[in-house]
A and B are shown apart, each in its own frame.
Chain A
Amino acid sequence: MADTVSGSGTKSNAFVLTPEKLRRQRIAKFLGEGFLLVVASFVAIVVLFIFYFVAVDAIPFFRQRGFAEFFTSTNWYPADEPGEFGALAIIYGSGMVTIGSALVAVPLGISAAICLSDVLPFSVRQYAKPVIEMLAAIPSVAFGFFALVIFAPLLQNYGGPILMWAWWLIAGPFVLLAVIVASDLLTSGSGDESRRKSLRIVITAVLGTVAVLFLYWVGKTLNAIQILSGTNALNVSLILSFMALPTIVSVSEDSLQAVGRELREGSYALGATRAETLVRTVLPAASSGILAAVILGIMRAIGETMVVWMASGNSSHIPEPWFNYLDSIRTLTATIAGDMGEADQVTGSARYHVLFAMGLLLLVFSFISNLVSERIVVRQRKILAGE
């Protein structure tokens, strides 16, 4: 083995595998493999360990207070004597922020992924990809600082105009597109070519005016809105959506790349344009992978702590009305981060254990969604490979 380069007399011996050598080799292999197995299982054990220790500290809370209060009450007064531990508003806040960020991040992320994987030429892609990767490299506390010190005052002072411009920019193209499509659909029934054209112009004009009036009216309403506090659900949702973006983009891009050339070229060969190929062929084939990407991105938003702790306002109540994103909210992660400093002094009290109950909730949710997304990815791989 190791002593192959010995004297010429023993050279032939070096390659002979004596029983003694064989045994030594086997022991070395067994030990090495065993050691590696132990190390690898360490990772699995750590996960169980986390689960166990968080659960052990969460169970006393449920034993003391039961489940009903935690999940149905909105009264969160942990510092009172006796305290109230209704976490419904906090869970709602987490959900609200997550949905808000998903609404922005999912369309943005998927279209960016499509763009990066299929549309952009390589020369542009080279510069576009680092932009997305850079977003992933920025630490969460920097996002939090930005949300708190720069974005929140901006929202507070120019909230109305910002909302109006965002509305014009986002809804404008969509509404105009809808007008074009609708007038197309409405006129496609009539027979005569010249009559159809004039009819179409009329319908487009009418619908267009209605649409512009609608846009203007909503924009004006938004412009009049006064945002009382810049640290609100909208602020946090927007920042979180940009934090979730890199995850969504990179996982969706992988899944788009996993759709082979054959499908794309088959579609081109049938005369489809690139947009048609992407929308009708590639996207359906990659849909499950994209779904997994969305789940992972959402996980990132739920688990994020610093931004929500710094910039969500941290008031534990359900906004009035329920979809009011301009109200301040409180999330699970922020509550854990914020309350532990005080709850830590009273280790063993319900106030301490309730934070572990929240941690357990987060943990269970992340495990479930991770397992679901993994299932989806595996299934997609199987379908694409087995077709």
Chain B
Amino acid sequence: MSKSTTGSAARSSASSGRVKTIDIVNKGLKSRYRKEKRFRVYGLLSIIASAVFLAFLLSSIVFNGYSAFLQTYIKLDVPVKTGMINEQNPRRSDFQGIIKAAIRDYFPDVTERKDTRELYSIFSSGAAFQLREKVLKNPPEGDTTISLWVPADDDVDMLMKGHMKRDVPESERRLSDKQLRWIEKLETDKRIEKRFNTTFFTAGDSREPELAGIWGAVKGSFYTMIVTLVLSFPIGIAAAVYLEEFAPKNIATDFIEVNINNLAAVPSIVFGLLGLAVFLNFFGMPRSTPLVGGIVLMLMTLPTIIIASRAALKAVPPSIREAALGVGSSKLQVITGHVLPLALPGMLTGTIIGMAQALGETAPLLMIGMVAFIVDIPGGFTDPAAVMPVQIYLWADSPERAFVERTSAAIMVLLAFLVSMNAVAVIMRKRFERRW
């Protein structure tokens, strides 16, 4: 475009006699500046598009998930009489029966068998566990009434949070008209309210949304990350030190370098295949444990750590090494005494970023059986465990609306971890970055 205008400008001024370069330039200048502006706008648009997408993604997750931090609880007065608790072994008393009796006491006009079943389903099955804990902690003496805030069923929870509408026909909602009436009675008695959802942060997985929590997955992630860190940090740093400080320039070194990049390019699911074929089927390691997960993730994080550590080592100026060598240190002393301490912040930054990647990884862990439904909270490296991203994946597959909100909440928690890890890495880099 600019070419053609300047060309015609040259021709037109040629007809008038003398040609001045400045005229040619001035003729085209306006359109060139316009182009420059357009160019800028395109660049900005692309960044704005990414920002809009990011904002949409995060806000929709927050919008979907914030309500999971609250949970509907119902206040239940549970009369406990002397015969109800098993004297010899209080663990084996019929807590479910006690809770049901308490519910029937509160709604005396519900007598039909079908109705009582509907009535019970307003309350979570976790109520009996709650009572059991309370009774075991301080056994009641004589006839008392224990007042409990028990979790409501997830359908009631959804209703209270407004995700389920009351005014649609009965067949289109998961709660019947009768159940709605009972809930209204509880509301007028001020016995139903939303409280902070501690279960979500302290429980393991569950089929019941109101009883499901992320603590098991958090602990599983924690153990897995420990394995990954313990293995990948020393190996990564040793490899980086060798490649930067010792490696001769030959084919073997080139081979190692190429393969580090190759390792970084391997699709994550293939690491899962490796874990399955080698660690599970060949070595017979226990399935779905943090140990195997950690080893697989170690292989994935190694390239990140090595590349970052090499950059950190490269940033240490040769003068430091030469000075240390000059006063008579051996090469090992130079490295352990001077180069490594100076490069350590950079190496740690790379390690944190690598760990953050590992923490968010899902696909390879599916392959080694970490996708199993695990209720118990893992207590060690060889206990079956879920990790946070896998937990999110499992919940995302569940159809209940209550799980959608818990999935979003779990993503928020995971993101909080990841973002703070990355922030720490950025701050460390800023803080310890030295210009020589």
Interface residues of A (CB under 8 A from B): 1, 15, 25, 28-29, 32-33, 35-37, 39-44, 46-50, 53-54, 56-57, 107-109, 111-112, 114-116, 119-120, 128, 131-135, 137-146, 148-150, 177, 180-181, 184-185, 188, 193, 242, 245, 271, 273-276, 278-279, 296, 299, 302-306, 309-310, 333, 336-337, 340-341, 344, 347, 355-356, 359, 362-363, 366-367, 369-371, 374
Contact = CB atoms under 8 A, between A and B. Distances in A.
A128 B54 CA distance: 12
A25 B393 contact: no
B47 interface: yes
17 contacts: A15-B328, A46-B299, A108-B46, A111-B45, A133-B422, A134-B54, A135-B54, A140-B361, A140-B363, A141-B390, A193-B12, A245-B50, A271-B25, A305-B269, A340-B367, A369-B265, A370-B265
Contacts of A119: 39-40, 43-44
Contacts of A50: 266, 270-271, 274, 299
Nearest to A14: B328
A32 B336 CA distance: 11
Interface stretch (B136-144, B237-245, B313-321): B237-245
B267 A366 contact: yes
A370 B239 CA distance: 21
B413 to A, nearest CB: 11
B130 interface: no
Contact of A273 (B36, B268, B363): B36
A120 B54 contact: no
Interface string B7-27: 110001000000000000100
Contacts of A273: 32-33, 35-36
Contacts of A33: 242, 246
B407 A145 contact: yes
A333 B364 CA distance: 11
Interface in B39-70: 39-40, 42-47, 49-51, 53-54, 57, 60-61, 64
B262 A135 contact: no
A43 B4 contact: no
A372 to B, nearest CB: 11
Given A50-B266, A275-B40, A337-B272, 18 more contacts: A1-B330, A15-B328, A36-B239, A39-B239, A40-B243, A57-B277, A111-B43, A115-B44, A120-B43, A131-B50, A138-B415, A139-B359, A140-B362, A149-B396, A271-B25, A275-B32, A309-B363, A340-B367
A120 B418 CA distance: 28
Contacts of A137: 356, 360, 415, 418-419, 422
The secondary structure that dominates the A interface is: helix
A40 B262 contact: no
A37 B49 CA distance: 46
A168 to B, nearest CB: 14
B302 A43 contact: yes
A148 B392 CA distance: 12
B46 A53 contact: no
Contacts of B243: 40
Contacts of A185: 1, 4
Interface of B: 1-2, 4-5, 7-8, 12, 25, 32-33, 35-36, 38-40, 42-47, 49-51, 53-54, 57, 60-61, 64, 235, 238-239, 241-243, 246-247, 252, 255-256, 258-274, 276-278, 281-282, 299, 302-303, 306, 328, 330-333, 356, 359-363, 366-367, 371, 389-390, 392-393, 396, 404, 407-408, 411, 414-415, 418-419, 422
Contact of B4 (A184, A271, A274): A184
Contacts of B36: 273-276
A276 B35 CA distance: 9
Nearest to A370: B265
Given A142-B392, A333-B363, A374-B261, A25 B415 contact: no
Given A44-B259, A115-B47, A306-B393, A139 B361 contact: yes
A28 B133 CA distance: 61
Contacts of A276: 2, 32, 35-36
A25 B330 contact: yes
B262 A47 contact: yes
List the 9 closest pairs (A to B, CB-CB), nearest first.
A303-B267, A139-B360, A115-B43, A36-B242, A305-B363, A370-B265, A275-B39, A44-B259, A39-B238
A294 B1 CA distance: 29
A299 to B, nearest CB: 6
Contacts of A41: 252, 256
Contact of A115 (B46, B259, B328): B46
Contact of B389 (A40, A44, A139, A184): A139
Contacts of B411: 139, 141-142, 145
B408 A108 contact: no
Given A115-B43, A142-B411, A366-B266, A337 B356 contact: no
A127 B70 CA distance: 33
A43 B272 CA distance: 17
Contact of A131 (B51, B362, B419, B422): B51
B313 to A, nearest CB: 12
Contacts of A109: 46
B33 A306 contact: no
A95 B22 CA distance: 53
Contacts of A310: 393, 396
A370 B246 contact: no
B270 A54 contact: yes
A296 B404 CA distance: 33
A32 B241 CA distance: 11
Contacts of B265: 296, 299, 366-367, 369-370
Contacts of B239: 36, 39-40, 42-43
B396 A145 contact: yes
Nearest to B371: A341
A226 B242 CA distance: 59
A198 B142 CA distance: 104
B260 A39 contact: no
Nearest to A4: B328
A46 B259 CA distance: 9
A148 B282 CA distance: 36
Most buried by A among B42, B57, B258: B57
A183 B392 CA distance: 55
